[in-house]
Amino acid sequence: MNRLRKRMASLREDGKTALVIYLTQGDPTPEVSADIAVAAAEAGADVLELGVPFSDPNADGVVIQKAMERALAAGGGLQSSLETVRQIRSRGCEVPIVLFGYYNPIFIYGLERFAADAAAAGVDATLVVDLPLDELAELSGPLADKGLDVVPLVAPTSGADRIAQVREFEPPFVYYISMTGVTGGAFERATDLEGRVAEVREASGAPVAVGFGIKTPEDARRVAGFADGVVVGSAVVNTIEAAGADKAAAAVHDYVAGLRAAAP
């Protein structure tokens, strides 16, 4: 059982909600990304999602798109992301890490090579936003051979039969998109979340983390009342950009600590 599965099981036993924090690797620099990740973990993040910079992040809103542009310019990318994970682990941080991104860089890298290198670096799972469930097995197989998991995405438009396909992967959790559209939307647009999360949990047989649009401690508190996990991304990226490289880690620490206090 890897770090991610252990953490989710422990939280479930304690009746707590996982706080999942996303940041774009390489923004503002690869070195600072490691500092930010460790700071988020120290502030109470249960899971880190490390976004792999990609030139065509079409599932992401403008905030993360711009972060990926900055990251690519600073030398971020898939190999750099693996190095950032190694740096995080070398500093004694054992918070589970999910590599979050798009399939093209992984496919070009090579599936077996990627699985081996990700496991060696200290990755626990991947979430590939543009790899549909029907094709996810081609990645999940090599990952499973190295003890890594996949985290499937489920949308508001996903039907019960499609959600049930998730069961074959026995994921550590399912990422439920709170609304249609791209990352960073207004959370107020999300409707019937509690009922929908219960349906997804039942159909998939897995814990459900909710993301897209969660920005404030109040948003986190609301979702923590019924979900197994709360995912915060664009707001973290905004915090990093506003703080600048020198103060980004401290700013993220304070921001994550506020979320943690709201959703203990």
Token pair recorded at residue 98: 């999910």
* Structural element, H or E, at residue 257: helix 248-262
CA 55 vs CA 17, 101, 133, 139, 212: distances in Å: 33, 11, 23, 21, 21
Distance of alpha carbon 62 from alpha carbon 83, whole angstroms: 26
69 in catalytic set: no
**Coil vs helix vs strand at 136:** coil
Q: Which of 27, 35, 46, 60 is catalytic?
A: 60
Distance of alpha carbon 199 from alpha carbon 163, whole angstroms: 9
83 in catalytic set: no
Could you give phi then psi for residue 26, rounded to 5 degrees? Answer: 90, -5
Spatial contact of 229 and 206, defined as CB atoms under 8 Å apart = no
Q: Which of 49, 117, 149, 228 is catalytic?
A: 49
Spatial strand order of the sheet with 208-211 comes to: 149-150, 125-128, 97-101, 47-51, 18-24, 229-232, 208-211, 174-177, 153-154
Distance of alpha carbon 83 from alpha carbon 76, whole angstroms: 10
CA 252 vs CA 15, 45, 86, 198, 224: distances in Å: 26, 11, 20, 31, 20
Token pair recorded at residue 176: 């439920």
Catalytic annotation, residues: 49, 60
